[in-house]
Amino acid sequence: MNKNHIISTLVKHESGVLQRVSGLFTRRGFNIESITVGESEIDGLARMTIISHGDEKSLEQMLKQLNKLIDVIKVRDLNVETTIKRELCLIKMSTPTEKVRSEIIQYTQIFGGKILDATSEDFIIEITGDSDKINSFLDLMRPLNIKKLSRTGPTAMSKSTRC
């Protein structure tokens, strides 16, 4: 059965590592929904979070093949239930009328977002949350004409004390 998987890896923070990982996924026909990379708690190592869709067998291959990369130090398949996922989303909305402006402000407040920049023509909004929350917000914004949208893709952390 196909499911979403959250794969969290510790990798060497060096050039080319992202290419090794994404190349591996492409070559073996694994799906990538998103991939995020950034500093980790350990100097010289980065944490890479990959969201992928696939069955158990392909998940097993993903984990094993990732583990074979020399620059990949650790690989974890995080339990979707006990993992906190967050993603950041920036949206530029046009604000042609006062009515639209106030509607956007209201929704942004409800979703705990921020308006980072406002001009006479548009707003730049920041929303963080899990992907579902961001999707719901975007559903509300879409009829109001989204000018630009940029999502980071989720990063994740397990609540378990062990990993």
**Chain-centre distance for alpha carbon 80:** 14
- Contact call for residue 53 and another protein (CB under 8 A): no
Taking CB under 8 A as the binding criterion, the range among 22-30, 104-112, 124-132, 144-152 that sits at the site for another protein is: 22-30
- Contact call for residue 71 and another protein (CB under 8 A): yes
Among the listed residues 1, 27, 97, 120, the single contact to another protein using CB under 8 A: 27
Per-position DSSP letters for 98-150, written without gaps between them: HHHHHHHHHHHHHTT-EEEEE-SSEEEEEEEE-HHHHHHHHHHHGGG-EEEEE
Q: Which is nearer to another protein, 12 or 151 (CB)?
A: 12
- Contact call for residue 76 and another protein (CB under 8 A): no
For residues 49 and 7, the answer to whether their CB atoms sit within 8 Å is yes
Cβ at position 71, least distance to another protein in Å? 6
Cβ at position 29, least distance to another protein in Å? 13
Among the listed residues 60, 109, 116, 148, the single contact to another protein using CB under 8 A: 60
Taking CB under 8 A as the binding criterion, the range among 60-68, 78-86, 135-143, 150-158 that sits at the site for another protein is: 60-68
- Contact call for residue 68 and another protein (CB under 8 A): yes
Taking the C-alpha atoms of residue 78 and residue 30, their distance in angstroms, rounded to an integer, is: 17
User: Please, which residues have CB within 8 angstroms of residue 22's CB and are 6 or more apart in sequence?
Assistant: 32, 35
Cβ at position 161, least distance to another protein in Å? 23
For residues 127 and 113, the answer to whether their CB atoms sit within 8 Å is yes
**Cβ neighbour number for residue 116 with a 10 Å cutoff:** 12
**Cβ neighbour number for residue 11 with a 10 Å cutoff:** 22
Interacting residues toward another protein by CB under 8 A: 11-12, 16, 19-20, 23-24, 27, 57, 60-61, 64-65, 67-74
